Amino acid sequence: MDVREPAELALANLGEDVVVVPLSELARDREAALPDELLDQSKEIVVFCHTGVRSGQVTAWMLSSGWTNVSSMEGGIEAYARYIDPSVGFYR
Helix (H) or strand (E) holding 77: helix 76-83
Please write the tens of the pLDDT for every residue from 79-90.
999 999 999 999
The pLDDT of residue 15 is 84
Dist. CA 47–CA 45, nearest whole Å: 6
For the chain, the domains span: 6-88
Please write the tens of the pLDDT for every residue from 27-38.
999 999 999 999
Q: Which residues partner with 45 through β-bridges? A: 70
Q: Which residues partner with 70 through β-bridges? A: 45
The pLDDT of residue 88 is 94
Q: Using an 8 Å Cβ cutoff, are 24 and 5 in contact?
A: yes
CATH fold for domain 6-88: Oxidized Rhodanese; domain 1 (3.40.250)
